[in-house]
A and B are shown apart, each in its own frame.
Chain A
Amino acid sequence: MRQLVRIASWLYAVLIYGFIFLPVVVLVLFSLQATSFPIPPFTGPSLRWYDAVLSDTRLTSALVNSLLVASISSLAAVTLGFLSAWGFARFVLPGSGLLRGLITLPLTVSYLIIGMGLLVLFNWAGVPKSLLAAGIGHVVINLPLCFAIIYSQMGDHQINIERAARDLGAPEWKVLLLITVPVMTPAIFAGFFLSMTFSWDEFVISFLLTRFDTTLPVEIWNLLRSGLNPKTNAVGSLVFAVSIVLVVFFELTLLRRKPA
């Protein structure tokens, strides 16, 4: 009986892993062939389409844009998130629960609706479509995330260290810079890298709020109009690789927290 469960489990796990990895394997595999269509049969490895991607200035500038938007908006989100988490965790504020609820509220609304709202507002206020507008949207989706992660990690333990620093005469700004930030580093990094990942992959807000200069997912979307195209495979594989690097960073920062 137990043996049977084991075998069935293995089979099932292999099937699900297969299902999960099938599209990724197909994507990467057919990015590596020289023919003009990313379809079977596989005709041997070639980096032709990676060359094509890297010499396509539209794609490379979109890539730079994406990195810029992701890093700046994540920095803003994590800064705002950290300051507010600190404020709410350390001080008793009137209506604190309600205000914290307000900050986390955007988590429950789909990106499409957040993007639509900003589009209507910016259109009405005469703000032109731009990378900045998309970046603002990315802070809206990532701020609640950073806040929730950092706030949940601010326990009594940290409060006591801060109190010790104050007792020893440290002014508030010194407590913040020399105690709180270092102690909270894992949570801050986790928030930052998670935001980077989400911003890097985000499509619909950037699609609605940018026009000529745009981010990589939107540029890939534009490529899709030409149907199945090995160039899309190549750039998709590259995007996947960057995401994996970000996730590994994220995992490492989480792992660093573990022993504490």
Chain B
Amino acid sequence: MNSAGNNPPPRAGRALPRASSALPWALVTPALGWTLLFFVLPFIAMGFSSLTAHEGGGFTLSNYSQFFTNPSYWQAMVNSLQVTAIVTVISVLLAYPFAWILAEQVPERWQRLALMLAVLPFWTSYVVRSYSWLLVLAQNGVINRALTGSGLFAEPLQLANTRFATVTGFVHFFVMLLTLTIFANLKQLSPSYRKAAADLGAGPVRTFLHVVLPLTLPGIMVGAFLTFVLCIGDYITPQILGGNNELLMPQLVMMQIGRRGDFPLASALSIILMAVVTIAYFACARWLKIERA
């Protein structure tokens, strides 16, 4: 993410002819100002808001304490973490072999096309993508028609409005994302590692397990973290596909705004959600060489 991070400011900069010292600041101030005004300041406003009560009055921690005492709020976080963990694991397990096939088995000149095709639906809007899965999974949708039509099942299965549907919608998106990142990782691997392993007598399986896999692990971790962050913050997929049977955190946040206009509670819940992501970040920071991504 911070691909900016590891490029030191070019030494050449110092050798520039003297520009008036106002120029560089004039260049960077609009972007910095925008970020401060529309990203940092809203965040501070949200922090303040989370410390007030919806009914008015002074500062209070009640929004936060509600989260810990109200079991249904707590449950939303548990659901979110479970769904996110399931999605991340399944997506990595599905995407890795696929990326490997694209990078190793597909002839070089077709790779670009194969990859582009593999991530094409990635670019449809969230809403449309989730709706498409609803078409597939609905009571009278394609899968149920196929199942009942073939005589395998007498009754259509309840697929939509379940956790299964939410997970499917998410996995669909993240398999594409992870295929991209893992493919890039596999391609960056210098072939000389593999040759060296082969020269030293390792078979293809051992080479893969002891050389290729460990070397691509950092890339997998970055992808998995990205999956975690995007998945846990997404409102649309669970709302369209999961229905209201079980709530995830983003749904809980949006409910506070929609039904009750309770900005303080929504702010507090958002901040808690962000704190969880931050904790996850520090937990995997060891493996995340984000500056390389």
B291 → chain A closest CB, angstroms:
10
Pairwise interchain contact B172-A19, C-beta atoms closer than 8 A? yes
A residues with a Cβ closer than 8 A to B are: 5-6, 9-10, 12-13, 16-17, 19-24, 26-27, 30, 37-41, 80-81, 83-84, 86-93, 96-97, 99-114, 116-121, 123-124, 136-137, 139-140, 143-144, 147-148, 151-152, 156, 159-160, 163, 166, 172, 197, 200-204, 208, 217, 220-221, 224, 228, 232-233, 236, 239-240, 243-244, 246-247, 251
Counting chain B residues whose Cβ lies within 8 A of the other chain, the interface size class is 35 or more
Determine the distance from Cα of A91 to Cα of B266 in the docked complex, in whole angstroms.
42
Pairwise interchain contact B135-A38, C-beta atoms closer than 8 A? yes
B51 → chain A closest CB, angstroms:
12
Determine the distance from Cα of A19 to Cα of B142 in the docked complex, in whole angstroms.
13
Chain B residues near A37 (CB, 8 Å)? 140
Known: A26-B142, A39-B140, A83-B30. A217 touches B45 (CB 8 A): no
Chain B residues near A236 (CB, 8 Å)? 124-125, 127-128, 131-132
Kindly state whether residue B152 has any CB partner on chain A within 8 Å. Answer: no
Known: A12-B97, A87-B27, A117-B42. A24 touches B126 (CB 8 A): no
Report B104-134 CB contacts with A as 1/0, cut-off 8 Å: 0110000000001110110111111101111
Determine the distance from Cα of A132 to Cα of B136 in the docked complex, in whole angstroms.
36
Q: Using a CB-CB cutoff of 8 Å, which residues 235-253 of chain B contact chain A?
A: 235-236, 240, 250, 253
Q: Using a CB-CB cutoff of 8 Å, which residues 139-154 of chain B contact chain A?
A: 140-142, 145
Determine the distance from Cα of A29 to Cα of B38 in the docked complex, in whole angstroms.
42
Pairwise interchain contact B32-A103, C-beta atoms closer than 8 A? yes
Known: A88-B28, A103-B32. A203 touches B127 (CB 8 A): yes
Known: A116-B270, A197-B123. A20 touches B16 (CB 8 A): no
Chain A residues near B273 (CB, 8 Å)? 110, 113
Known: A100-B4, A221-B127. A108 touches B229 (CB 8 A): yes
Closest 8 CB pairs of A and B: A110-B233, A117-B42, A87-B27, A23-B132, A84-B31, A91-B24, A201-B125, A236-B128
Q: Using a CB-CB cutoff of 8 Å, which residues 252-278 of chain B contact chain A?
A: 253-254, 257, 263, 266-267, 270, 273-274, 277
Kindly state whether residue B202 has any CB partner on chain A within 8 Å. Answer: no
Determine the distance from Cα of A23 to Cα of B135 in the docked complex, in whole angstroms.
8
Determine the distance from Cα of A178 to Cα of B13 in the docked complex, in whole angstroms.
19
How many residue pairs link A and B with beta carbons under 8 A? The number is 286
Determine the distance from Cα of A40 to Cα of B138 in the docked complex, in whole angstroms.
11
A111 → chain B closest CB, angstroms:
7
Determine the distance from Cα of A118 to Cα of B207 in the docked complex, in whole angstroms.
51
CB nearest to A116 among chain B residues:
B270
CB < 8 Å neighbour of A140 from B4, B38, B118, B135: B38
Q: Using a CB-CB cutoff of 8 Å, which residues 1-16 of chain B contact chain A?
A: 1-5, 7, 9-10, 12-16
Known: A93-B28, A151-B4. A39 touches B10 (CB 8 A): no
CB < 8 Å neighbour of A27 from B28, B94, B135: B135
Known: A90-B24, A117-B46. A23 touches B123 (CB 8 A): no
CB < 8 Å neighbour of B31 from A118, A143, A159: A143
